[in-house]
Amino acid sequence: MKLGRKSALGALATLSLLSATPIQAQVTGGDRIFEDVRLGPYSPPAPVSVKGISGGPLAVRQLTERATTATGTCVGFIDRQPDHRLTLDEFFDYLSLDVQSPEDTTLVLMGPGGVWCSDDYNGRNPGLAGAWLAGTYEIWIGSYRKETYHPYVLEFHTEP
């Protein structure tokens, strides 16, 4: 289990302080972490939030096989398995992902159309915004140092 590997009890206490938005209907569970998200034509415009713990043993560049993408540099360390999966039931003219964490984090997204990396999109935290194809995306939230773990909240916004 991912949480056990990361020994995140103390981080979870901090994580609960970060979340200002309750989890929406598309996300199952209460205060669990590493949840998946599904967005479709009837999704509410309010932000959808999920929680997690960044980091892992794998260098981001080992997964992405590149140093940079059009959206940013591929840096940091992640787990081998994605932290979240995002399923979009249709094309989105606009969708943004914003990571909120007390520490500097990075983001990797793989899905229809390619691979995207982000770092320092909003201050020290990563994010992505734009038009999105329908399909399933895998999302990793990384830390700058190997096997260093930080709590985060990942928000999905369907309106600018």
pLDDT digits (tens, 9 = 90+) for 45-89: 778 999 999 999 999 999 999 999 999 999 999 999 999 999 999
Evaluate if residue 29 carries a pLDDT over 70: no
Evaluate if residue 19 carries a pLDDT over 70: no
- Dig out the tokens for 119 from the structure: 């770092």
Which residue do the tokens 């369907």 mark?
Answer: 158
Q: What torsion do the CA atoms of 25, 28, 32, 33 make, to the nearest 10 degrees?
A: -90
Evaluate if residue 138 carries a pLDDT over 50: yes
Confidence of residue 143 (pLDDT cuts 50, 70, 90): very high
12 phi-psi bin (left φ>0, alpha ψ -120 to 50, beta other): alpha
- Tell me how many domains the chain contains: 1
Confidence at residue 31, expressed as pLDDT on a 0 to 100 scale: 67
> CA-to-CA distance for 67 and 62, rounded, in angstroms?
10
Q: Show the domain range for 15.
A: 2-157
Q: CA-CA distances (angstroms) from residue 131 to 4, 79, 82, 156?
A: 36, 27, 22, 13
> CA-to-CA distance for 97 and 14, rounded, in angstroms?
21
Domain containing residue 122: CATH number? 2.60.120.380
